[in-house]
Amino acid sequence: MNQIVWLSFLNKKLRAITLAAALFCLFIPFGTQGQTNPTILVLGDSLSAEYGLARGTGWVRLLEEQLKIESSPWNIFNASISGETSSGGLSRLPKLLEQKKPGIVLLELGANDALRGLSIQESENNLRKMIRLSKQSGAKVLLFGMQIPPNYGQTYTKQFQNLFPELAQQEKVQLLPFFLQGVASDPALFQADRMHPNEKAQTILYKNVWGAMAPYQSILKSK
């Protein structure tokens, strides 16, 4: 009799353990999904922060809308700040990577470095560190190429233009050759300050970015 009671007790215990294990496995996917929600981090300056534009009309919002059209599970966190330099971006990036855990980083910085007369070497060092920090966190990087008017001097202008493709090649990341392609040469696409693209230009900027994101199309459709 004692043996029968013991076997009955053991069977109940095993069933309880099996049920607990099944419930544990059932809830794992939901917990993991919440922790790995795919994010695109945009780290830029006024060109990405909707400076002078109505809220929700910038190229970042257009990119968000395209992702929805594509039924992509990815979302966008726009950490762009007007006036941001590569130095400022570098100081903010570690915390953003830790908090947002992005799978893709869109790096649009450097123009304000030139406007403030920062050395090419300083800009290069900052951008390189941001690229490496992003890659170390597991994120893919799309570097936005920038150019400046020739009145900054032929040597500096050329060095600044070459900075982005050289960095992208050395660090093996994707490059958008010139973010303002199709906009820079058309005065009608700028605000009154003649520095910031207007609302009409945002579609062109978005298309430039979306085209450069072609290598990511497969992962944008999945988590």
Residues tagged active-site:
46, 193, 196
Residue 70 φ/ψ, nearest 5 degrees? -80, 0
Q: Which residues of 20-51 are buried (b: 16+ CB within 10 A; e: fewer)?
A: eeeeeeeeeeeeeeeeeebbbbbbbbbbbbbb
Residues listed for the chain: 223
Residue type, 223: K
In this structure, the dihedral spanned by the alpha carbons of residues 118, 121, 123 and 124, taken in order and rounded to 10 degrees, is: 170
Locate 216 and state its tokens: 């990511």
For residue 77, the surrounding DSSP H or E stretch is strand 75-78
